[in-house]
């Protein structure tokens, strides 16, 4: 158990809809990361937060947004969903944003019908 | 442009033999490299890391080698066990506390199968 909790585990929705994925980081971790893993591909870095502030951005679409709340949990909002957004979305956390291992949740599987 | 590449999608080895997983990178700003292991229906789990100031790091059966001039790293698992069967991801990040720190770039993974 990594200590990182992601909800929901599975989400099925339709094109054009909006969803929110939630992540609770490991206790004591201030930095949260979001990744997207499409079928048989590597993890694509989306965005990083540190203590409530956006720290780094990767290949995150404009239709996607995220935030980290004062209690350090984070939410990833995906809107105007398209079929290609179907993927596994992972959240990870670390103590701070320096080079160090990240602890991953088990992911949210998003299926767009 | 894929900055971290794992050119072998899969690898199969016999139990007790050595498994060697390879990873190449293109960005010379990367200075910290990690290997993660992933089982189905679970998130990646950190395995071992190496800083660019070193060329080798060992942890039990796992050893990571870094060749900076070739921009290549490898993970050796010896001896391999059936429980090591998983997808292995190589990741790279850079720069201490600057904006690249923690922003890991992942390879596409190598599926290792260890046969009993």
Q: By mean pLDDT, which of A13-27, B9-23, B96-110 is the weakest?
A: B96-110
Alpha carbon distance B104, B46 (integer Å) = 12
Percentage of chain A beyond pLDDT 90 is 83
User: Based on C-alpha coordinates, what's the Rg of chain A?
Assistant: 13
Helix (H), strand (E), coil (C) string for chain B? CCCEECCCCEEEEECCCCEEEEEEECCCCCCEEEEEEECCCCCCEEEEEEECCCCEEEECCEEEEEECCCCEEEEEECCCCHHHCEEEEEEEECCCCCCCCCCCEECCCEEEEEEC
Dihedral of CA atoms A51, A2, B10, B108 in degrees, nearest 10, equals -10
Q: Which of A27, A19, A33, A5 lies closest to A86, judged by CA?
A: A19
> Which among B93, B101, B108 has CB closest to A41?
B108
pLDDT tens-digit readout, A33-73: 999 999 877 899 999 999 999 988 888 999 999 999 999 99
Interface of A with B in 9-68 (CB under 8 A): 31, 33, 35, 40-45, 48, 55-56, 58
Q: Which two tokens stand for residue B76?
A: 């050796």
Question: Going by C-beta distance under 8 Å and a sequence separation of 6 or more, which residues neighbour residue B38?
Answer: B44, B45, B86, B87, B88, B89, B109
Q: Which of B49, B50, B5, B51 lies closest to B24, judged by CA?
A: B5
The pLDDT assigned to B99 comes to 56
For chain B, how far is it from start to end, CA to CA, in angstroms? 38
Alpha carbon distance B20, B76 (integer Å) = 5
pLDDT tens-digit readout, A95-104: 887 768 899 9
SS3 A4: coil
Q: At B96, is the pLDDT very low, low, confident or very high (cuts 50, 70, 90)?
A: low
Interface of B with A in 35-94 (CB under 8 A): 36, 41-46, 49, 51, 89, 91, 93-94
Average confidence (pLDDT) over B35-40: 95
């Amino acid at each position: 158990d990594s200590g990182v909790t992601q909800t929901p585990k599975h989400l099925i929705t339709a094109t054009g809809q909006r969803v929110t994925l939630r992540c609770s980081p490991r206790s004591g971790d201030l930095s949260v990361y979001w990744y997207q893993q499409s079928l048989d591909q590597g993890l694509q870095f989306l965005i990083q937060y540190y203590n409530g502030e956006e720290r780094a951005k990767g290949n995150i679409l404009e239709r996607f947004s995220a935030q980290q709340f004062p209690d350090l949990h984070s939410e990833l909002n995906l809107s105007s969903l398209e079929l290609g957004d179907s993927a596994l979305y992972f959240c990870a956390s670390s103590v701070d944003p320096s080079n160090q291992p990240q602890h991953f949740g088990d992911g949210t599987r998003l299926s767009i019908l | 442009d894929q900055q971290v590449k794992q050119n072998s999608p899969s690898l199969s080895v016999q139990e007790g033999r050595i498994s060697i997983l390879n990873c190449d990178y293109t960005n010379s700003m990367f200075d910290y490299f990690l290997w993660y292991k992933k089982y189905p229906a679970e998130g990646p789990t950190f395995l071992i890391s190496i800083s660019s100031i070193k060329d080798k790091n060992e942890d039990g059966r796992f050893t990571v080698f870094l060749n900076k001039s070739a921009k290549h790293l490898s993970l050796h698992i010896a001896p391999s066990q059936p429980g090591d069967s998983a997808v292995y991801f190589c990741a790279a990040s850079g720069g201490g506390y600057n904006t690249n720190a923690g922003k890991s770039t992942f390879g596409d993974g190598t599926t290792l199968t260890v046969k009993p």
